Structure 1
Amino acid sequence: MTGRAKATGRVWAHVGQTFVEREYDVVILGAGRMGAACALFLRRLAPGLRLLLAERGGLPNEEGATILAPGVWTGLDVPPGREREAVWDRSQLERELNDVQFQPRSLLDFYAAEGEGRVPTADLLAHFPDLADVVDPHALPFARVDEDAATYRPGSVALACGQGAVRAGADLLLNTHAALIPGGVCLERLTVTNTHEVVTHETHEVRAGVVIVALGAEGPHAAEHDLGAHTGHGRAYRQSPRLNVPTTDATPTLRAGGLTLRPQNGGFTLVPPIHHRDPHGYVPVGGRLTGVPVGVRRETLEDLIGLMDALPALATGALEVGRSLADVPGAWVALPGGRADTPPTHEEVAPGVHLLLGGPLADTLGMAVAYDLAARVAGVEGRPWER
């Protein structure tokens, strides 16, 4: 059902706007940074295709993992052989997208033992005196430095790509739950009642030649539940506690023991490591600190306690642990291949249905993988980073 390209797409933000479309060439489910980027690239590569981008929340969805992603681009995260993709990914974030606030910021990765490429921590702290109370150079005497690292806001990537896709002709349907059905999708437009309940206002079945499932951690479950396809992917619940130690625009991003301390809003946002996938049916609960219930899940709390000697600031009142899970922001994160160290990926899980996953390494490779899928759907040979 290919037609001529439109100048600007349509946006349905609430149920008061009538939606009557019944067929698209491509439907993308999920307007996080992966889905929105794929929509933008697909409109550029194949402007003749009719494209719908559907999202359960708004743009960006403030409850999704995109908002809580670290937003740290670093060459230290790039798997061997993917360096050119990562450089191209950075070029998109730094120069091609508006309002992403891409900020060059060094990254210091600390270690307890000497190794290749590592320098003495004491020498580094001489250049960053504000970190003297954060890092113990005796416990972590060595570090790797990525001077080309940078920070940015992944939520702004979703917003910029989504808006760009609409300007390029994609349609955008917000506040809509989607399910996969044979030959297309079932769309449930959501509204809020006077008692603040979210209910389905109307349901539409839309035919689509291609469906791209970019629902983040919910994507594999949607493919398995709706299509009966086995994917082998997983998910984990990751929280982002706060460390209220003063930071500036010159403060580097820190890493130790897998924990990332990302300077943000005058302090550090803590991004804990993901050790394993959470089992099906797992419901995150808070842990206990000296017998007192806190809002940080037990696994994360154990990591923080284990690093308190190396990062003394974690053992002070600067660490916000909350009283319940609601006090500490968290979100489900997709784990491509069920592992935290697997790069973003896409795969065709059924004829015409593609699963697009970002995961923990999406900060560095997400845009390139979204482009790769868009090029495949558009039938475009070659990739810009290969030239």
Structure 2
Amino acid sequence: MTGHTPGQAPATAGQVWAHVGQPFTPDSWDVLVLGAGRMGTAVTLFLRDLRPEWRVLLVEEGGLPNEDGATILAPGLWTLAGLPEARHAEAQWERAQLEGRFGGAGGQARTLLSLGQDGEEDTGARLARHPELAGVVDPAGAPRAAVHEAFTYRPGALALAAGQAAVRAGADLLLNTRASLIPGGACLERLTVTNTHQIVTHETHEVRAPRVVVALGAAGPHATEHGLGVHTRHARAYRQTPRLNVPTSDTTPVLHAAGLTLRPQSGGVTIIPPVHHRDPHGYAPQGGHLTGVPTGLRRETLEDLVSALEVLPALATDALETGRSLADVPGAWLALPHGDPAGLPWHGEVAPGVHLLLGGPQADTLGLSTAYRLAAQLAGVALPEGWAAPFSPR
């Protein structure tokens, strides 16, 4: 333990171990955080805010931010649309954090248009303001538009900013290290890559801590089961985000139509399909066929696109990237938190001193606030005024 008191700024930045050439000696930490996606980096930063006297070690298998998880491929779409009203206060807090402390995370305010049979505006009249969307939407299939406020950003930029801020605030960071849970801590395997691109274990350490946060995304529930024998009811699903190559600008709205979300990004559109169900254990995503031709789009993604053709005719054109293999179409495993009936981001103590932190489909809007909820619980401080009481499953 250091000599800091709550609310006192740390004297120095934390230590960073980026490669195996840097000697690492296990030390005494108060909190061990596994996973440097946006959830892990955020909870690390908030713990340093709330308990600067605690020593915190953040461990990541890859680099910062996590390069293989769902953070990089998350839509980065903040919106109150479809969110329970009781959670609006903390969602607004999250928006303020994104635009304030994290400098917008490469994002901007946008309009979100939910297209269908109901809404306060005529779809055709609304889309006439955006000629770049001509041919993308057929207003006859969705004649009314409901208008919502939204904010788009880059979750990867958020994770990087939160991780860097946490280190500046005194947290330690261990990269290129695979972590597995053991009672009272974690087994850490420092990794290196040979000249034939094989990953090998360079050294192994055991680290103990009275508090462990598992922020490994979709791999988190499996990690607790495999390492501690703790079974959880959380699940995961594989979500692809194909691209639609139609021109967009900074003023192009986000569209919700026929169950899909079309998010303007990098001069085109990222298609975000809904998550219908959990994928079974051992499932390996496979591509599908479009008019008999093999594509990189998995069957479930293809079915969503085909069912939306009437409203979104651009999906039947060459503007849609179908990929020659599954690897050509971006996709990642997504955690599906079980507990909160709305399926919102979740945290809970799954074993004594071990806390599971999951984002899931709504992490863009409530991921930061859920990480703060866990940090506040561990630190023993009250939640901000107006936040709903934590959900407690029976």
Q: Which range, TM-score by smaller chain?
A: over 0.9
Gaps of 5+ in 1: none
Match of 1:144 in 2: 146
Mapping of 1:258-297 within 5 angstroms? 258-297=259-298
Q: Which residue of 2 aligns with 1:81?
A: 86
2:391 is matched with none
Which letter maps to 1:284?
A: P
Counterpart check, 1:70 vs 2:71: no
2:392 maps to none
Q: Distance in 2 between matches of 1:96 and 1:369?
A: 17
CA contact (8 A) 1:37 1:370 kept: yes
**Aligned partners of 1:140 and 1:49: how far apart in 2?**
54
Deviations 1:73-107 (A, max 9, x none): 11104223101010001000011113612200101
SS state at 1:82 partner: helix
TM-score, normalised on structure 2? 0.94
**Cα offset for 1:129?**
2.4
Deviation per residue, 1:132-179 (Å, 9 max, x gap):
211100011122111x21100000110000000000000000011101
Question: What's the CA shift for 1:381?
Answer: 2.1
Residue 6 (structure 1) shift: 4.4
Contact 2:337 2:346 in 1 (8 A): yes
Deviation at 1:123, TM superposition (A): 2.2
Aligned position for 1:100: 105
Q: Does the Cα contact within 8 Å between 2:236 and 2:333 map onto a contact in 1?
A: yes
Structure 2 vs 1, CA of residues 341 and 277 (structure 1 numbering), >3 Å: closer, same or farther? farther
- SS of 2:281's equivalent in the other structure is coil
1: CA distance, partners of 2:341 / 2:38 = 18
2:200 is the alignment partner of 1:199: yes
Structure 1 Cα separation of the partners of residues 206 and 248 of structure 2: 50
Q: Aligned equivalents of 1:386 and 1:109: distance in 2?
A: 27
Contact 1:184 1:208 in 2 (8 A): yes
**Residues in 2 aligned to 1:338 and 1:139: alpha-carbon distance in whole angstroms:** 36
Aligned to 1:60: 65
Secondary structure class of the residue paired with 1:23: coil
SS where residue 38 of structure 1 aligns? helix
**Partner letter of residue 124 of structure 2?**
A
Question: Whole-Å Cα distance in 1 between the matches of residues 63 and 310 of structure 2?
Answer: 42
* Bigger mean CA offset, 73-82 vs 367-376: 73-82
1:13-32 equivalent positions in 2, closer than 5 A: 13-32=18-37
- What is the CA RMSD across the aligned residues, in angstroms? 1.6
Q: 2:56 and 2:218 mapped to 1: Cα distance?
A: 23
What's the secondary structure of 1:247's corresponding residue? coil
In the alignment, is the contact (CA less than 8 A) between 1:372 and 1:383 conserved in 2? no
Cα displacement string for residues 271-304 of structure 1 (whole angstroms, at most 9, x for unaligned residues): 1111001000000000011111100100001110
Query: Cα offset for 1:258?
Result: 2.2
Cα distance in structure 1, aligned partners of 2:341 and 2:246: 28
**Rounded Cα–Cα distance in structure 1 between residues aligned with 2:176 and 2:247:** 38
8 Å contact 2:241–2:331 — kept in the other structure?
yes
Give 3-state SS (helix, strand or coil) of 2:205's partner. strand
1:323 aligns with 2:328: no
* Cα offsets for 1:187-243 (capped at 9, x unmatched): 011100121101111100001010000000000111111111121110000111110
Indicate conservation of the 8 Å contact 2:33/2:44, yes or no.
yes
> What is the CA–CA distance in structure 2 between the aligned matches of 1:276 and 1:340, rounded to whole Å?
15
Kept in 1: contact 2:26–2:206 (CA 8 A)? no
**Mapping for residues 129-278 of structure 1, pairs under 5 Å:** 129-146=131-148, 148-278=149-279
TM-score calculated relative to the size of structure 1:
0.96
1:27 aligned counterpart, secondary structure: strand
Equivalent pair of 1:55/1:174 in contact (CA under 8 Å): yes
Change in Cα spacing, 1:6 to 1:351, as seen in structure 2 (3 Å) is farther
User: How many residue pairs were aligned?
Assistant: 383
CA–CA separation in structure 2 for the residues paired with 1:380 and 1:154: 27
Amino acid across the alignment from 2:288: G
Provide the rounded CA distance (Å) in 1 between the counterparts of 2:319 and 2:84. Answer: 34
Q: Does 1:34 align with 2:39?
A: yes
Q: Secondary structure at the match of 2:289?
A: strand
Aligned to 2:55: 50
Residue 126 of structure 1 and its aligned partner are, at CA, apart by 2.3
Residues 275, 340 of structure 1: 8 Å contact kept = no
Distance 1:348 1:189 in 2: 27
Greater shift, 98-107 or 345-354, is seen at: 98-107
- 1:87 and 1:47 map into 2 onto residues whose CA distance is 26
Alpha carbons of structure 1 residues 75 and 178: separation in structure 2 relative to 1, 3 Å? same
In 2, Cα distance between the equivalents of 1:74 and 1:280?
31
SS at match of 2:209: strand
Distance 1:318 1:338, change over 3 A: farther
Q: CA deviation at 1:386?
A: 4.5
In 2 relative to 1, CA 37–250 (structure 1 residues): closer, same or farther, beyond 3 Å?
same
Query: Quick one: which amino acid aligns to residue 311 of structure 2?
Result: A
Q: 3-state SS of the aligned residue for 2:156? A: helix
On the 8 A contact 1:2/1:25 being kept in 2, the answer is no
